[in-house]
Structure 1
């Protein structure tokens, strides 16, 4: 593996001295025990994927939060994301690349372009005796989590993905998508068997609420597993989660770590903040910021564990960017951006649109209920005359924060990677998304096959 060293060139003699000072690593910063230590063993990996997130999201979120973000000091490099058949990837091809180290075509999960099965970093970890877990705020059968433990030609075939997650005996599965585990007679998909019963036969404890998750205790060494399906479809956006009995992403991350850490041979855990991407598709800036906040809380759980454990590597990186989010928009003569105005937005654009009456005469009432804005007459007319009221709400709210958008789909820009823990410096420099699982396999000492 190529090690990249980033330093500021002052003088040859100074650099020579720096290079040989004990405790210094390729980032040019003194390492703390368990952070960037090239000689430290990696026992566990927590792979955290903020779907749709890139540097512009990171910048707007920092301005939204009005203080530093947990991953800021752990920035290591950037990576490219193209798929095998397109310069702009979808989540299936990106997830496959990030799980297997191989490119594939958009829409394909766990298979190469010739439909040959690819081994994932989760599967390779399991083969070495490690425990494994998947956590997501989407359905647990959605493209990104599916890419780590299933192999299908079509990402939309979630009822074919669900049994594979159980067949691969992933120890902890937490997210939405209960309908994909139920037969059609019980509200699920007609193609699905009663996989929850099957999971019970495989020694999975099954939970459906935040409280049940908090009370769940499993013994990994005794072969016990945990299946948490907290919604029929995807979980609620973070800003609507309190209206449900669903756990937060941080709750699920904490529970997953607590269960998996009991394994004697270490664990591999993938955690996805799924709905940052969905907010990007909708150009919904408030939804994006609040789901990033939920994702940051989950990263804080992971890093807190890694700080104490000192054998855990935490890697954070999105699968692609969504929406072409920009920091600033239009002419912006004041040269100012203020995402903090989004803190008092309490509903998605879709939710606000659903609250409109038939003639849209209650726009001010809806805005007053879910924001602290007072709309101008031109803003009211924008929403009243729009073909898509949800998009119009999102446009007006993004304009207030000076957050711009160039697309309602994915873009092909590079993505930042952050890493904390032993061997974190291995992620330094300009990479491709296929490099991430290869580095993980190397630091774990496992073989990642094709």
Structure 2
């Protein structure tokens, strides 16, 4: 790496790769949207370094799966009413193509937080790309390691005035009437987009079971209406519908003879990879594999939404190590999708809903443990500091005493998975960041996903590539091109006929 020739040869090879790359303007039979919740650019950079270091390689030269994709853009993540977005308004944007207000899902900017009357009005509803795919007779599904009623996956099928309305109990806890504010679990089972989903995999059994009824994990459901929505979901299907609750049951599924699959693998959210019982709980990669096995049976193709939700969960606790491990799990799921599909006919888009406040800073030496202490100390208090830190969050009081002096990290195990990295001012839960997030794309029409993009443009470009939805599609463009060519040929033939007739008359 010290030689000039190393970098020149490296750059020339990368240049050759770009020059030789051809544009794929075919129709996308399948579309998979991978959403890294809170996957900031800093998280990607630190994640790639950790990946390499875990493989005993130079992490700075490593790449996550999606960093090999040919197209890269930046997405602007603000809500209609907030500079810094949450996972609710953003899900409406990247799934429905319309920006909404903070805390609302699947509704336009006319719906304010908690305005259930406006949220029930169909004129304010925003349909997701999953619904567009269903109308084109494609299969559809969602995968997450959060509850399937959480903000990001709920954008696939629901219309909510408050993201907290995950069950009727939660509606009541927020001070509203469940009869007037339909909850996400109910909408998943009975909304048009929800009931047509072929695959639903994630956590959240409590949202679907009555209070007092124990789920597979020995925890009580929370519904107040006495309904078992898991049973109702299963009985509402005309095809073969199966529900599973652990990895063994998932692996036992006969995918060729299963039309609908619901897997709920935790009472609330699924566990972090660092904490999970991998014998019982499927990974994001396993769930992605199962979903594709169900969906790819449809000759018309499919739309699949996959969320790596724990990147966000870990960041909120200032737990950078867990966030980066979840980023690696997210990358593995994307690789599984690449392995199972044909890139000539499958468009895969990878992006984030919003950023986080984790920073990657200081002047540490190449190869230094990305999770550890910086190779330099502060030139003011002479104490060591970590390469990774946060602008805010719950760890503040663990790192500063009442006089404002910093904790000396020399004798602290900063590599412990539960270690909370320093935050510069206190919040109970670390906040999101407002900067742009990356958008990566591979497959048909991936070259559209470049430049500075409004977040709500993303589903419109996916729909264009796959010829679904009510907007412009590549199929319409080809038809217009074809019609134009036929018209040109007709005009030429008429003119030629006229010339021949004129010549004969002379």
| Alpha-carbon distance between aligned partners in 1 of 2:107 and 2:254, rounded to the nearest angstrom | 35
Q: Which of 455, 458, 468 is matched with 1:433 structurally?
A: 455
**Which residue of the partner structure matches residue 200 of structure 1?**
234
- SS of residue paired to 1:162: helix
Aligned pair 1:217/2:217, yes or no?
no
**Which residue of the partner structure matches residue 364 of structure 1?**
none
Decide whether aligned partners of structure 1 residues 29 and 271 sit closer, same or farther in structure 2, where only a CA change above 3 A counts: farther
| Alpha-carbon distance between aligned partners in 2 of 1:217 and 1:391, rounded to the nearest angstrom | 37
**Which residue of the partner structure matches residue 325 of structure 1?**
358
**Please, which runs of 5 or more residues in structure 2 have no aligned partner?**
1-14, 53-61, 112-123, 168-182, 214-219, 374-397, 399-406, 472-506
Q: Which of 407, 416, 419 is matched with 1:393 structurally?
A: 419
- SS of residue paired to 2:281: coil
**Shift of the alpha carbon at 1:338?**
2.8
**Which residue of the partner structure matches residue 143 of structure 1?**
151
Q: Which of 135, 149, 153 is matched with 1:127 structurally?
A: 135
Q: Which of 99, 102, 107 is matched with 2:98 structurally?
A: 102
Decide whether aligned partners of structure 1 residues 79 and 125 sit closer, same or farther in structure 2, where only a CA change above 3 A counts: same
| Alpha-carbon distance between aligned partners in 1 of 2:354 and 2:371, rounded to the nearest angstrom | 24
Aligned pair 1:30/2:20, yes or no?
yes
Q: Kindly indicate whether structure 1 or structure 2 has the higher relative contact order, using CA contacts under 8 Å at least 6 residues apart.
A: 1
**Which residue of the partner structure matches residue 49 of structure 1?**
35
| Alpha-carbon distance between aligned partners in 2 of 1:247 and 1:235, rounded to the nearest angstrom | 9
| Alpha-carbon distance between aligned partners in 1 of 2:242 and 2:39, rounded to the nearest angstrom | 33
- SS of residue paired to 2:68: helix
| Alpha-carbon distance between aligned partners in 2 of 1:44 and 1:335, rounded to the nearest angstrom | 40
Decide whether aligned partners of structure 1 residues 214 and 243 sit closer, same or farther in structure 2, where only a CA change above 3 A counts: closer
| Alpha-carbon distance between aligned partners in 1 of 2:104 and 2:458, rounded to the nearest angstrom | 19
| Alpha-carbon distance between aligned partners in 1 of 2:154 and 2:185, rounded to the nearest angstrom | 8
| Alpha-carbon distance between aligned partners in 2 of 1:446 and 1:72, rounded to the nearest angstrom | 27
**Which residue of the partner structure matches residue 327 of structure 2?**
292
Aligned length, in residue pairs = 370
**Shift of the alpha carbon at 1:91?**
0.3
Decide whether aligned partners of structure 1 residues 380 and 181 sit closer, same or farther in structure 2, where only a CA change above 3 A counts: farther
| Alpha-carbon distance between aligned partners in 2 of 1:382 and 1:117, rounded to the nearest angstrom | 51
Aligned pair 1:379/2:412, yes or no?
no
Aligned pair 1:181/2:246, yes or no?
no
- SS of residue paired to 1:242: coil
| Alpha-carbon distance between aligned partners in 2 of 1:391 and 1:84, rounded to the nearest angstrom | 37
**Please, which runs of 5 or more residues in structure 1 have no aligned partner?**
1-23, 343-359, 361-376, 384-389, 400-404
| Alpha-carbon distance between aligned partners in 2 of 1:277 and 1:154, rounded to the nearest angstrom | 19
**Shift of the alpha carbon at 1:448?**
4.6
Aligned pair 1:90/2:127, yes or no?
no
Q: Which of 115, 120, 126 is matched with 1:118 structurally?
A: 126
Q: Which of 341, 344, 347 is matched with 1:310 structurally?
A: 344
Decide whether aligned partners of structure 1 residues 335 and 305 sit closer, same or farther in structure 2, where only a CA change above 3 A counts: closer
After TM superposition, the score normalised by the length of structure 1 is: 0.76
Aligned pair 1:70/2:65, yes or no?
yes
**Shift of the alpha carbon at 1:268?**
0.3
Native 8 Å contact 1:217 1:259 kept in 2: no
**Shift of the alpha carbon at 1:378?**
3.2
Deviations 1:94-115 (A, max 9, x none): 1111111111001001011223
Q: Which runs of at least 4 in structure 1 moved beyond 6 Å after TM superposition?
A: 380-383
**Shift of the alpha carbon at 1:229?**
0.2
| Alpha-carbon distance between aligned partners in 2 of 1:415 and 1:274, rounded to the nearest angstrom | 16
- SS of residue paired to 1:135: strand
Native 8 Å contact 2:343 2:444 kept in 1: no
- RMSD of the alignment, in Å? 3.0
Q: Which has the larger radius of gyration?
A: 2
Q: Which of 240, 253, 269 is matched with 2:304 structurally?
A: 269
